[in-house]
Chains A and B, each alone.
Chain A
Amino acid sequence: MNFVLNDSEANQAIVLIGVGSPFNDDTLGWQLLDALQQELATLPGYEWVFEKADRPGPVLLERMKGYKRAVLLDALDAGLSPGTIQVLRKEELAQIQRPASSHAIGVAEVLALGERLQMLPSELYLLGIQMGTALSEQVVQAAVAKLEEILAPPGVE
C-alpha cells in the first residue's frame, strides 16, 4: 500500500484540524476552529476542510491523509504571553523535546512518527495558542493573519 501521494494526486483543499481534549484550556484548538469556520468563509481562493479531534494519537495521521496541506490548531504551553499564536513548521516539530500539548501520546510524537513513515502532507503547520486566556477576537484575527502568511497564495507554488 502506498501511503505517499505525490502532490498532484493529493487533495488540494487545506485541512484544518482542531486538536484538544475536553478539559479547560485544552479546548482552545476546538474553539479556534469554530471561530475560523466563520472567518475563513470570507477568505477567497482557498478550499477548506474543517475537522476536530479529541486526543487523536496516531489517528491524526489518518485525518491528514490525502491532503497536500494541513494546519493543526492546538493549545500550547510554552511560557509565552497568553493568547500568543505561535506557528511551527513540520521541520521544527520533530525537534521539540517536550510535547507541544498535554495529551497522552502527544502531537509531536505522532508527527515524528508520521515523518519517519513518510505519511505527512508535504506542507504541515502547527498553530499553537498559548494557554492562559479565553479566546478573544484579537487572537482569532491573529490566527487568520498567520494563516494567510504561511499559506502560499492559490496558483503560486
Chain B
Amino acid sequence: MVLPQGVLNMSDKPKIAVHKFSSCDGCQLAFLNLGETLLELPKLVEIVHFAEAGPMDEDQPVDVSLVEGSINTAHDLERIQRIRKNSGYLISIGACATSGGLQALRNMADAKAWASAIYASPEHLDSLDTATAIADHVKVDLALWGCPVNSRQVLGALRDLLFGVAPREERRPLCMECKRMGKVCTLVTQKAACMGPVTKAGCGALCPSVGRACYACYGPSELVNDSSLGRCFEGFGLLPEDVARRFHFISNGAPVFRQAGERFRGGA
C-alpha cells in the first residue's frame, strides 16, 4: 500500500494533533495511559494540539491527526472539514469516531422526542438528529476500532507512519485471537451469546479472558454472518429482539451491524 506523497518528512519531526468530538474521552486516555512512553513520544513527534494534555492549536497543519468522537452538531461538521484540510493523514480512533459510538442508537429513534424526554428545555440544545462516524463526512486514512481503542494499536500505527510504512488494519474475527491465546470458547462451553465470530480482533480477547461473552466493542470483522450467528443465539434461548440488541450495542452504527439488528427486530 502506498502512503500519500509527503505524509511524513523524515527530516523533520512529524507534527501530530489529537482532536475530540462527541465522546467519553476514553480513547484519548489511551494516550495519557501510556505512562512513561508519553514522555518519550515528544522525542519522536511534535504534539501541536492535544487539549487534554495541554498543547492547543487546533488549526495548525499537521502530518497526522488522531480523531476521537462522533459528529453530533453543526459545529462538529465544520470542525472536521477544517481538520481534514489541515491533516496529511487522518486516523479515526474508537467506536464513536469509526461508527458513531453507542450514541448512534439515536439515529434509529426520534431524536426530538428523546430530547424532550430528558431535557426540560430542549430548544436550548444545538444538536443534529444523528451521531455519525468521521468517515461519513471526510476521508479517513486509517480506522482504529475499539471502545476504547487499544493504546498499543495507536502507538503501533504512529510508529509505522514514522517509518513510512502503511499501518495494517485488522479485519479478522476475535475467534482467531482467542484461539492463538488459548482462551476457552464462551459460545461453545457456556452457550453464551458471544459476538466474537463477527467482531474484529485486536482487544486481546479481554472478555473471554474473564469468562464472559464478547459484546462487539471492536466493531464488525470481515464476512459477518449475522443470520447464522443470530440463529445460534436463538438456539440458546434468546428472543429475536434480544439478538437484535446484541448487534445494536456499542458498535450499532456500523452498517452491517445496523442492518443485522434490524433484520432480527423485524422478525426476519
**Do A and B actually bind?**
yes
Q: Tell me, yes or no, whether B165 is within 8 Å of chain A by CB.
A: yes
Let me know if A22 and B155 touch, CB within 8 A: yes
A21 to B158, CA, bound (A): 12
Which residues of B sit under 8 angstroms from A21, Cβ to Cβ?
Answer: 156
Let me know if B156 and A27 touch, CB within 8 A: no
| Chain A 93-108: CB-based contact to B (< 8 A → 1; otherwise 0) | 0000000000010000
Chain A's nearest CB lies how many Å from the CB of B103?
32
Let me know if B180 and A30 touch, CB within 8 A: no
Question: From B163, which residue of chain A is reached at the shortest CB distance?
Answer: A30
Question: From A37, which residue of chain B is reached at the shortest CB distance?
Answer: B164
| Chain A 17-34: CB-based contact to B (< 8 A → 1; otherwise 0) | 010111100010011001
Let me know if A22 and B180 touch, CB within 8 A: no
Q: Tell me, yes or no, whether A7 is within 8 Å of chain B by CB.
A: no
Instruction: Point out which of A18, A34, A52, A56 has the most chain B C-beta atoms below 10 A from its C-beta.
Output: A52
The 8 Å CB contact of A30, one of B157, B164, B167, is: B164
Let me know if A54 and B167 touch, CB within 8 A: yes
Let me know if A52 and B159 touch, CB within 8 A: no
| Chain B 145-181: CB-based contact to A (< 8 A → 1; otherwise 0) | 0000000000111111001111110000000000010
A30 to B166, CA, bound (A): 12
Which residues of B sit under 8 angstroms from A55, Cβ to Cβ?
Answer: 168
| Chain A 23-59: CB-based contact to B (< 8 A → 1; otherwise 0) | 1000100110010000000000000000011111000
Let me know if B165 and A53 touch, CB within 8 A: yes
Which residues of A sit under 8 angstroms from B180, Cβ to Cβ?
Answer: 104
Let me know if A22 and B159 touch, CB within 8 A: yes
Interface residues on A, range: 10 to 19
Chain A's nearest CB lies how many Å from the CB of B1?
9
Interface residues on B, range: 10 to 19
A35 to B139, CA, bound (A): 32
Let me know if B163 and A31 touch, CB within 8 A: yes
Question: From A27, which residue of chain B is reached at the shortest CB distance?
Answer: B163
Chain B's nearest CB lies how many Å from the CB of A11?
17
Which residues of B sit under 8 angstroms from A52, Cβ to Cβ?
Answer: 163-166
Chain A's nearest CB lies how many Å from the CB of B23?
25
Which residues of A sit under 8 angstroms from B157, Cβ to Cβ?
Answer: 22
| Chain A 71-114: CB-based contact to B (< 8 A → 1; otherwise 0) | 00000000000000000000000000000000010000000000
Let me know if A34 and B164 touch, CB within 8 A: yes
A54 to B156, CA, bound (A): 10
Which residues of A sit under 8 angstroms from B155, Cβ to Cβ?
Answer: 22
Question: From B1, which residue of chain A is reached at the shortest CB distance?
Answer: A53
Beyond A22-B155, A104-B180, whether A54 also contacts B164 by CB under 8 A is: no
Which residues of A sit under 8 angstroms from B159, Cβ to Cβ?
Answer: 22-23, 27
Which residues of A sit under 8 angstroms from B160, Cβ to Cβ?
Answer: 22, 54
Which residues of B sit under 8 angstroms from A30, Cβ to Cβ?
Answer: 163-165
Question: From B164, which residue of chain A is reached at the shortest CB distance?
Answer: A52
Chain A's nearest CB lies how many Å from the CB of B128?
37
A56 to B1, CA, bound (A): 11
A18 to B166, CA, bound (A): 12
Which residues of B sit under 8 angstroms from A18, Cβ to Cβ?
Answer: 165
Question: From A105, which residue of chain B is reached at the shortest CB distance?
Answer: B180
**Interface residues of B, Cβ cutoff 8 Å to A:** 10, 155-160, 163-168, 180
Beyond known contacts A20-B165, A22-B160: 4 more, CB 8 A cutoff: A52-B165, A53-B165, A54-B160, A55-B168
A-B pairs with beta carbons under 8 Å apart, 23 shown: A18-B165, A20-B163, A21-B156, A22-B155, A22-B156, A22-B157, A22-B159, A22-B160, A22-B163, A23-B156, A23-B159, A27-B159, A27-B163, A30-B165, A34-B10, A52-B164, A52-B165, A52-B166, A54-B156, A54-B160, A54-B166, A55-B168, A56-B168
